[in-house]
Structure 1
């Protein structure tokens, strides 16, 4: 997860002061990064239809994971970027849903307690796959990598991989709320989605 590098840095941050600054960030956020997932081991070996399905199913989850990693360096704030660090009240004033805010902050606390590092990751379940067996093989290999990494780095804590993977339920639920928020901001004219994002959401 190369994108996670640097998310724990104690860089100087400043809260967003205008709605325009926040809206500009959301527009940038919704410009997808197609280079993030294809570097995942065995991803390129999957059938094209399965790769598309996995990308569509997980792109908001990835945004949420990046938000969580960045926010772990702060207290009771969501760190959307190096220059946008918001309290829950500031998020509310900018139109975010209270449930999404509380769920996101709760996930930040959970990841802090687990002390998740940039090399740990979880495997997403994706419905409507063309070759489910091939995807399961790739998932099992990734889980094996996670278990091996934890066995080497966190000796004596055999349950750690399970606790990490269990966070997927909360991540998926919260990312659904974030997706609704993106749609709401788009309908209100605050965020411009590019064609690739629209395709991801279809």
Structure 2
């Protein structure tokens, strides 16, 4: 009789061990599954963030080309703006930007300019201030050909986050003699470029 009791106890103990092992294995599988899900979630979040950053940062060269197409023959800049001109003319040194693209006319009698600057994080406002300071200096203090002063007055500096643009583009019209009418005409010309730029940030 005592032997039977021992046998029953041994069987019960073995069954208990099997249950514990099964529970432990199930728990390990659940933890592993949970870790995998977290990794998938993190990967998806990184992909979403990368896509958002890409969408928020359009290619500056593509924008330049789109602006050129929008103006057609009335797009006059034909000389690339380099880092030296960017710093010496506009006061924007290499510590303020990640990249830029811009063009200006080779002939000094024209002032048409397109400039796009992708500032370093948090420096967009500084670049905007520098471009506005350049614009103001040309309107108030620089010697300009009479036909070019309304162009400067119609020019615009616009900013999208840390992307900053200076736009002074469009056709000339010698048939317009009134100052207000000429300024209004140049403003409509500049707006062509502004609308094209804006379409990349919608």
TM range (shorter): under 0.3
Bigger relative CO (Cα 8 Å, ≥ 6 apart): 1
Q: TM-score, normalised by structure 2?
A: 0.25
User: Which protein is bigger by CA-based radius of gyration?
Assistant: 2
The TM-score normalised by the length of structure 1 is 0.25
More strand by share: 2
